[in-house]
Structure 1
Amino acid sequence: MDIPWPLRPDSPLLIPSTVEAVTAGFPSPAQDYDEPGIDLSRQLIDHPAATFLVRVAGESMTGRGIDDGDELIADRSLDPREDDVVVALIDGEFTVKSFEPGPPAYLIPANPDFPAIPLEGREDAEIWGVVTTCLHHLWRR
């Protein structure tokens, strides 16, 4: 996993949007772009000063729909709750796993090929941030 980098929504990133949701069933007639756009910073970031973007490297979270190369938006101001996906610092390395508070507390992968990481008694473990959004890439360059 790459080192996290801060997101700074100093200026809005407006993406054209439609007024109505797009159906995932039978197609409906296309809607005009009636709105000026959606500011992705406002949609995806609640605490700008505490929010970072990390890129996933590896396959330990594929069972949660998080794939190698996806980007995660992580908020350091949130306290992790049971089953939250978190970015953790273990032995000086970043990892992403589900949080199980226990006792004892564990970091749980979403791929059975990877082991759970016990947190009890570890001085080298820190929950670094709670993942709020996964930018899952459907089209790879």
Structure 2
Amino acid sequence: MSRGGFRAGAGRKKNSGLFGEKTVARRIPQSLAPALDQYLSNLATSTKLGENIKFIFTPQEHSLQLPFFSSKVAAGLPDIADEHQDYLNLNEHLIPSPDSSFMVRVTGDSMIEAGIHNEDILVVNRDINPKDGHIIIAAVNGEITVKQLILKNDHVILMPANPQYSPLTITQSMDFRIWGVVTSVVHHLGK
């Protein structure tokens, strides 16, 4: 009896997965695999997100366009607004590179002075080359964090925006990976 090779009827049935379509493999750095596995596991088992996992991972074909008034709103003295109205596509405005972007929810207050609060949603672009001063999402020894990237005298420092937290200087012994640069913050007022 031969073993291995093709066997009729073996394996996953065509288009039988959660999304009902063919699957593809993705390669990620080995060091990121545990963090990604943990994130996906938490996402799938979360009572809040688990029910909506198909919606989260299914590309949405529609775009949201809201009325956009061309006059600016004065943050100082009141100004008279004009009636000119256009439309602003929020998808294009907040996520100009959807193929290289992802979103993540913030936990904690280490970046509060940068306008990033607990429960805010960050839009992150993986294709932007991280530079000094950028706010980034990084994995440090398997833990995901959002901090300001400081490049100083051949040192990499992750700087919080809250004096109650200390900067973290990255050393050679640390497993450090930058996942992307934060491009937008979705922050609800009155929470």
TM-score by length of 1: 0.84
Residue of structure 1 in register with 2:76 after alignment: 25
State the percentage of identical aligned residues. Answer: 33
User: 2:122 aligns to what?
Assistant: 72
d(CA) in 2 for partners of 1:123, 1:30:
53
Match of 2:139 in 1: 89
Alpha carbons of structure 1 residues 7 and 129: separation in structure 2 relative to 1, 3 Å: farther
Q: Tell me if the contact between 2:72 and 2:81 (Cα under 8 Å) persists in the aligned partners.
A: no
Q: Which residue of structure 1 lines up, in the alignment, with residue 180 of structure 2?
A: 129
For the residues of structure 1 that align with 2:91 and 2:123, how far apart are their CA atoms? Answer: 11
- Aligned-pair CA distance for 1:82: 0.5
Superposition CA RMSD, Å: 2.3
**Match of 1:47?**
97
Structure 1, unmatched stretches of 5+, are none
Alignment partner of 1:120 is 2:162:
no
Deviation at 1:105, TM superposition (A): 0.8
Q: Do structure 1's residue 105 and structure 2's residue 156 form an aligned pair?
A: yes
Alpha-carbon deviation of 1:123?
Answer: 4.4
What letter corresponds to residue 90 of structure 2 in structure 1?
L
Question: Please, which moves more after superposition, 102-111 or 118-127?
Answer: 118-127
Partners of 2:158 and 2:168 within 8 A in 1: yes
Bigger Rg over Cα: 2
Q: Is the 8 A contact 2:71 2:81 kept in 1?
A: no
How far did 1:71 drift? 1.1
Contact 1:88–1:128 (8 Å) recurs in 2: yes
User: For 1:20, what is the secondary structure of its paired residue?
Assistant: coil
Aligned length: 137
Aligned to 1:56: 106
- CA drift of 1:132 comes to 0.7
Q: Distance between the aligned counterparts of 2:127 and 2:181, measured in 1?
A: 8
What residue ranges of structure 2 are gaps of 5+ in the alignment?
1-38, 41-55
Q: For the structure 1 residues 86 and 49, does the alpha-carbon distance in structure 2 shift closer, same or farther, using more than 3 Å as the test?
A: same
